[in-house]
Amino acid sequence: MSLTLLNVIVAVVIAIAFAAANAAYLVWAERRGAARIQRRPGPNINGPFGLLQPPLDGIKLMTKQLMIPGGADKILFMVAPVLAMAPAIMSFVTIPFSKGIAAHNMEIGVLMIFAFASMGAMAILFAGWGSRNKYSVMASVRAVSQNVSYEIPMLITAITVVMVNGSMDLKAISTAQAGGFWHWNIFPSLHSPLMPISFIIFFICSLAETNRAPFDLGEAESELVAGFHTEYGSMGFGLFFMGEYANIVIGASLTTILFLGGWDCPFGMFPGVWWFLLKIYLLIATFIWIRWTFPRTTIYGLLNLSWKILIPISLFNLLLTAGLLKVF
């Protein structure tokens, strides 16, 4: 019993460390990537290639005074950043990086990650409401309606994958796709001919779920100043920022596991954690690339895309897959 407890504690500490390191260095990667796209150097002063920038940024944020605006709801204001970061870390616990590397494997891994992901919307709502700032409230209402409407097609698509693989266990889903790229879920099979479309829907939804451009309506800086974290400074802002990047890693990991075969090698050789990491970082690079190339969508365009296009297609796909599974 105590050994299991120790195991869980060690696993959680490793998950926190992984999430924090990823969040910090993805900020660096994003800034360097953005700079490359915009033909400028980016952070390159501190350390080789500016690699010391993230820890120094962290020190700067931590030494700043934590300000609570007058009239703000103190409890909600303080809880919100923690609530943004904690579910993201918890989601890491169940993600299998390879056959042997997973903090704690669960039979309902998919369900657990989605349950934690929907808590992110609560953090944004608390932050917006607790700040007592008109811009923050508007931004949080936007972000929540966006999260709610994009969770539906994302879940329906995930259910399609779960039905095809017959399990909610992330490890089992990955193992079922082993043996070369033609076994991956992204390729259409007899049971699921529309899988590539599902992949695109899932990718768009994970962009929207993490409030990334072109769906960054919650923090549209040219309209709503800084959106729901306008009033946050110090580590409160830092936690929101890290939570965003941790969520990006979760989104990329989930896409990799559900569609791209997890740790499987595309040619059936040397499967292992390196393939998993390669896949998620390629997906994250795509996230960064998209962010710095596209302008922002409108709120009605965004909701129309979800309710009028993505949900009908994903529902049709679900029904088709269910029918084909029954027939064959």
Partner 1 sequence: MSTPIQLRPDETFILNVGPQHPATHGVLRVKMEMDGEYIVKSETVLGYIHRMHEKMGENRTYAQYLPNLSRLDYLGALGYTHGHVLAIERAAGIEVPERAEYIRAITVELNRVASHLFWFGAFVMDLGGFSPLMYAIQDREHILDMLEAVTGARLTYCYYRFGGLYNDIDDDFIEAAKRFIPRMRKSLKKYAALVTGNIIFQKRLEGIAPVSAEMCRKYGATGPVARGSGINFDVRKNEPYSVYPEFDFDVPVYHECDSMARYKVRMDEMEQSLRIIEQGLEKLPGGPIMAEKKPKNIKLPVGDFYQAVETARGSFGIRIVSDGDKNAYRLKLRSPTYSNMHLFDEACEGMLIMDALAFMGSLDLVIPEMDR
Q: Identify which of residues 142 and 191 has a Cβ nearer to partner 1 in the complex.
A: 142
Q: Identify which of residues 169 and 216 has a Cβ nearer to partner 1 in the complex.
A: 216
Q: How far is the CB of 73 from partner 1 (least distance, A)?
A: 5
Q: How far is the CB of 171 from partner 1 (least distance, A)?
A: 38
How many Å apart are CA 13 and CA 21, to the nearest integer? 12
How many Å apart are CA 174 and CA 157, to the nearest integer? 16
Size of the site for partner 1 (CB under 8 A): 32
Q: Identify which of residues 268 and 301 has a Cβ nearer to partner 1 in the complex.
A: 301
Q: How far is the CB of 296 from partner 1 (least distance, A)?
A: 3
3-state helix, strand, coil split of the chain in percent (to 5) is 70, 0, 30
How many Å apart are CA 157 and CA 314, to the nearest integer? 6
Binding of partner 1 by 296 (CB under 8 A): yes
Q: How far is the CB of 307 from partner 1 (least distance, A)?
A: 16
Query: Which residues ranging from 230 to 289 are in contact with partner 1 (CB under 8 A)?
Result: none
| 278, two tokens | 């390669």
Q: Quick one: which of 222, 267, 270, 327 contacts partner 1 (CB under 8 A)?
A: 222
Report angle CA 141, 156, 324 to the nearest 5 degrees: 165
How many Å apart are CA 264 and CA 271, to the nearest integer? 5
- Which range touches partner 1 (CB under 8 A), out of 88-96, 216-224, 243-251, 268-276? 216-224
Distance between first and last Cα of the chain = 45
Secondary structure of 76-99 as H, E, C letters: HHHHHHHHHHHHHHHHHHCCCCCC
Q: Identify which of residues 65 and 222 has a Cβ nearer to partner 1 in the complex.
A: 222
How many Å apart are CA 147 and CA 40, to the nearest integer? 34
Binding of partner 1 by 299 (CB under 8 A): yes
Q: Quick one: which of 16, 20, 37, 52 contacts partner 1 (CB under 8 A)?
A: 37
Residues found near partner 1 in the complex (CB under 8 A):
34, 37-40, 71-74, 132, 134-135, 138, 142, 213-214, 216, 220-223, 225, 292-301
